[in-house]
């Protein structure tokens, strides 16, 4: 049940089809790998499949480089996700939360 919930959360947060996540999981990918791949796909506007294909032969750091993400891009994406989640949970304006997160 926990795996199913994690996949649902990844799907909702990053826009990766849940069935795609299930397929990768059934092919031996662990949840932390799927979560990181989904995050990088979201941050780079690349497809999840593209990111995971790159990961097969590269470290995560190399994947980030190959898809053109900088540490600043990763931080900005993380801040945006946190701001969105807080704003949605508290039902307040995201721009206010974004200001506070920064």
In this prediction, residue 38 carries a pLDDT of 97
Burial of 66 (0-12, 13-18, 19+ CB in 10 A): middle
- Kindly report, residue by residue over 23-44, the tens digit of the pLDDT: 999 999 999 999 999 999 999 9
User: Would you mind telling me the total number of residues written for the chain in this entry?
Assistant: 102
Does position 101 have pLDDT exceeding 80, yes or no?
no
Looking at residue 10, its pLDDT comes to 94
Q: Report the distance separating Cα 45 and Cα 92, nearest Å.
A: 26
Q: Looking at the predicted structure, is the pLDDT value of residue 3 above 80?
A: yes
Give the pTM.
Answer: 0.86
**pLDDT tens digit string along 70-98?**
999 999 999 888 888 888 888 887 777 77
Q: 41 and 50 in contact (C-beta within 8 Å)? A: yes
pLDDT of residue 20: 96
Q: Which long-range contacts (CB under 8 A, 24 or more apart) does 35-39 make?
A: 35/6, 35/10, 36/60, 38/10, 38/13, 38/14, 39/14, 39/77
């Amino acid at each position: 049940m926990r795996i199913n919930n994690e996949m649902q959360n990844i799907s909702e947060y990053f826009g990766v089809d849940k069935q795609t996540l299930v397929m990768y999981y059934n092919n031996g990918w662990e949840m932390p790998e799927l979560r990181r791949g989904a995050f990088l796909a979201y941050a780079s506007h690349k497809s999840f499949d593209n990111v995971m294909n790159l990961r097969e032969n590269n470290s995560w750091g190399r994947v980030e480089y190959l898809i053109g993400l900088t540490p600043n891009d990763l931080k900005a994406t993380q801040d945006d996700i946190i701001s969105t989640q807080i704003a949605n949970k508290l039902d307040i304006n995201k721009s206010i939360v974004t200001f506070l997160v920064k």
